[in-house]
Structure 1
Amino acid sequence: MGAPWTVKKYIDDVFTEGHGTLYASDGRTRKDPSKKYGSGGLVQGKKYMLSLTWNATNGSLHRKRSVLPRRWC
């Protein structure tokens, strides 16, 4: 089962809008094989903040073997 169409639409809208601002290409070229995938970003060296939401209780994220390290929560 795939993601709902609204998720795909959101991702398409964000990446289409970000082309030329956030990224120019995936970074790889035939002329320079040392450039790796993911090196074509245009915001390298800038700081950013991610805001993520989880459908999980606070206690489930603070267990010893949780998905995220304790310092993140």
Structure 2
Amino acid sequence: MPHATAAALAGGLRERGRFVALLDLDPQGCLSLLSPGVEQISPQSLPKALRGQAGMDYVLIDTPPALGDAVRIAVQAADGV
């Protein structure tokens, strides 16, 4: 369950005092359904969504479990994978 991994990572970082945002790029939207305040976004809106997270220490992006445009766009936007 990748969405559970993203939520757990965010929780661990927050426990350490980090500011963390979660973005749900998976069309199934499981992360946004399970985690209040998480926004489901389209790959095309990722750049705008990232600009809105400028004050965060980390922005974790939940992606679909298969290679495709959403994963490619998320990897291109990432500082680390």
TM-score, normalised to structure 1, is: 0.21
Q: Greater CA radius of gyration, 1 or 2?
A: 1
More helix by share: 2
More strand by share: 2
TM-score, normalised to structure 2, is: 0.20
